[in-house]
Amino acid sequence: MERSAFMELDAGSRLVMHLREWPALLVSSTGWTEFEQLTLDGHNLPSLVCVITAGSVDLGVCLHMSSSGLDLPMKVVDMFGCCLPVCAVNFKCLHELVKHEENGLVFEDSEELAALQMLFSNFPDPAGKLNQFWKNLRESQQLRWDESWVQTVLPLVMDIQLLGQRLKPRDPCCPSRSFFSESQGKPF
168, pLDDT greater than 70: no
Work out the average pLDDT over 66-70. 78
Q: What pLDDT, on the 0 to 100 scale, is given for residue 100?
A: 94
Query: Would residue 14 be called left, alpha or beta, if left means φ above 0 and alpha means ψ between -120 and 50 degrees?
Result: left
pLDDT of residue 66: 77
- 94-128 pLDDT, tens per residue? 888 899 999 999 999 888 888 888 888 778 888 88
Distance CA 9, CA 19 (A): 10
Name which of 109, 1, 111, 123 is nearest 63 in CA terms.
Answer: 109
pTM listed for this prediction? 0.52
